[in-house]
Structure 1
Amino acid sequence: MTNSALALRVPSEIELDRRLYRRRQNGKSVAIALASTLVFAALVWLLVVNTPGWTAVQQSFFNLDVAISAFPRVIEGLWLNIRVLFFASIGVLIVSLLLAVIRTLRGPVFFPLRALATGYTDLFRGVPLLIVLYLVGYGVPGLGLFPRMPAEFWGTVALVLTYSAYVSEVFRAGIEAVHPSQRLAARALGLSHAQTMRKVVLPQAVRKVTPALMNDFVAMQKDVGLISVIGAIDAVRAAQIETAASYNFTPYVLAGLLFVLLAWPTIRLTDWYSARMRRREQMGSIV
């Protein structure tokens, strides 16, 4: 490596001073944010515990003995939610990517496919997930065309139908964000349309929309609890059963906390990845 190239890679004294100043400011900001958060939390806590009805609310919603008693049934239901989430995520990924590719096809011969994909996304983005669950969970089995399937199967189908419409639009936005010159260069090299899409466009598109995809995954982690409306014994339905047995709402709070713990790693990963991409986009040259 030449001396000039080495000099370009080594930060200057000015840049090192800037980095040191940023670290100090970041440390000071973290300390101030932590102190203000603790003060605010203490004030809220004092306000809540001094309200007239706090004792009754604590017994009805935050009863430790009831939570311990309900935990085995609720955690068993949560495993069902995790299984449904796993298979629904795979289905959403496949169906949404197929829809996005269809909607980006060019030429009048593909108009029927584009119209069908557009109608699908418009329909399922407009219909609430709860109604889709009822239609799929009770209406489709009523046709008698399929063998008897468990409620979690139909809940997974409903999730795939609804979230594929949303995620396909995210994929389509990423595909359209890839500059046309990338496609032209790939076709000039002799790649077919399918090869261009698979090897050039989709890798760039997915990288651009990864934060949005992760946010949709977090939303689906939360909505997977709605499968309880069609009879699946998931965490929410288990909490409902325990509440009916104990006349106490603590199992619902327990189920909510478990869903938060389930989503928290993905939320933090999404924030980290978004910040990383933002830093890479805003990064300037070394002085």
Structure 2
Amino acid sequence: MTDRAAVEAFSPSALELDRRLHRRRASRRSVLIALVSTLAFAGVGGWLVVTSPGWDGVRQMFFNLEIAADSFPKILEGLWLNIRVLFFATIAVAVVATLLAVMRSLRGPVWFPLRAIATGYTDLFRGLPVLIVLYLVGFGVPALNPETRIPIAVLGTVGISLCYSAYVAEVLRAGMEAVHPSQRIAARSLGLSHAKTLRMVVIPQALRKVVPALMNDFVSMQKDVGLISVLGAVDAVRAAQIVTAQTYNFTPYVVAGLLFVAMSFPMIRLTDTVSARMARREQQGGTV
């Protein structure tokens, strides 16, 4: 009998069928309980909000549908600037953070100056608030040469990249240090240079170990690109601020917040999915 015929001839026992039926029933029961409890919590929470004394004023000031519809096109246009800044900042952070992590991993006293520079950079920009870095870059760099005008979007991209390169570099460095030293030794024993060992052996394994942390950093960066509005850039936040100043209503801020959530939601869900999959592989004894 061939393997295929053996597979086709196999049929689960009555006990196994009963277990599967029990698991399906338990799963349906869990889903039903979760749905009922969620609706109950949502109903109670909604009732407490709408029955509060100041709900009418809050609804008019924060959830005005007419103002939301009028401000949506302007805020959406500003969000396109945030998306462009995020795109270029992501590329810059990936490149600079990788260089910093590699510099901090260099061995030998001859490389001490590079290690010191990388260490000082990460310590400095991990300690500085992003808002202060944006002020220093946005207003300090143009002051060096007042005759040259630098686009605000470029300055904002530089400020965001400076801060998040430090965070991502430390995550990458942690992943590289988590790779067992025997991997480096084996690669060097095969004749690979230090650079090839990093590129072909260490960094690929390090990335697999720190993917969830890296994705969380980039989710955080998606939100912080809204801080470029402090430099005067008409992004989603500044567009909402302009409409708010004209209407004396805070609904545009709610619209901008929802747009940022919509922009971050795919990455958030992807992060959760990757984290759960890697956790399952670790529990099953697979290669992470």
The TM-score, its normalising length taken from structure 2, stands at 0.91
Q: Residue 266 of structure 1: CA displacement?
A: 0.5
Instruction: Output the amino acid matched with 1:279.
Output: R
Counterpart CA distance in 2 for 1:77 and 1:29 is: 43
Question: Which piece of structure 1 moves more, 44-53 or 16-25?
Answer: 16-25
CA distance, structure 2, for counterparts of residue 250 and residue 276 of structure 1: 39
Residues 284 and 125 of structure 1, relative CA distance in 2, 3 Å threshold: closer
State the shift of 1:148 in Å. Answer: 1.2
Corresponding residue for residue 67 of structure 1: 68
* Residues 1:205 and 1:49: Cα distance change in structure 2 (over 3 Å): same
Letter in 2 for 1:246: T
1:263 aligns with 2:264: yes
| Structure 2 match to 1:230 | 231
What is the alpha-carbon distance in structure 2 between the residues aligned to residue 68 and residue 48 of structure 1?
A: 23
Moved more, 80-89 or 147-156: 147-156
Match of 1:141 in 2: 142
Q: What corresponds to 1:172 in structure 2?
A: 173
* Alpha-carbon distance change, 195 to 281 in structure 1, aligned in 2, over 3 angstroms: same
CA–CA separation in structure 1 for the residues paired with 2:68 and 2:263: 18
1:153-202 deviation digits (Å, cap 9, x = unpaired): 10000000000000000000110111111111111111111011101111
Other-structure match for 1:100 = 101
Q: For 1:148, what is the secondary structure of its paired residue?
A: coil
Indicate yes or no: 2:131 matched with 1:126: no
Gap change, CA 1:21 and 1:133, over 3 Å in 2:
farther
4+ residue stretches of structure 1 with deviation over 2 A?
A: 10-31
CA deviation profile, 1:219-264 (whole Å, cap 9, x unmatched): 0001100000001000000000000111110000000000000000
Where does the alignment leave 5 or more consecutive residues of structure 2 unmatched? Answer: none
What is the aligned partner in structure 2 of residue 272 from structure 1?
A: 273
- Distance in 1 of aligned mates of 2:179 and 2:244: 51
**RCO higher in structure (CA 8 A, sep ≥6):** 1
Match of 1:109 in 2: 110
Match for residue 150 of structure 1? Answer: 151
Secondary structure at 1:190's aligned position in 2? coil
Deviations 1:9-62 (A, max 9, x none): x99868887676555444432322222111101100000000000000000000
Amino acid of the structure 2 residue aligned with 1:136: V
- Structure 2 CA distance for partners of 1:243 and 1:280, relative to 1, 3 Å: same
**What's the counterpart of residue 212 of structure 2?**
211
Match in the other structure for 1:89: 90
C-alpha distance in structure 2 between counterparts of 1:261 and 1:160, whole Å: 22
Instruction: Report deviation, 1:152.
Output: 1.0
Question: In structure 1, what is the Cα distance between the partners aligned to 2:80 and 2:43?
Answer: 35
Q: Residues of 1 paired with 2:74 and 2:67: CA distance?
A: 12
Q: Please name the residue that 1:40 is paired with.
A: 41
Structure 1 pair 200–264 and aligned structure 2 pair: CA distance change class (3 A): same
Q: How many angstroms apart in 1 are the aligned matches of 2:105 and 2:20?
A: 44
Structure 1 unaligned segments of length 5 or more: list them: none
Query: How far apart in 2 are the matches of 1:274 and 1:44?
Result: 31
User: CA 1:149–1:11 in 2, change beyond 3 Å: closer, same or farther?
Assistant: farther
1:111 positional shift: 0.6
Q: Structure 1 residues 99, 15: CA separation in 2 closer, same or farther (over 3 Å shift)?
A: farther
Distance change in 2, residues 1:11/1:113 (3 Å): farther
Go from structure 1 to structure 2 and tell me whether the alpha carbon gap of 1:109 and 1:24 turns closer, same or farther (over 3 Å shift): farther
- When normalised by structure 1's length, the TM-score is 0.92
Distance 1:247 1:81 in 2: 24
Worse-matched range after superposition: 64-73 or 145-154: 145-154
Alpha-carbon distance in structure 2 between the residues aligned to 1:184 and 1:12: 49
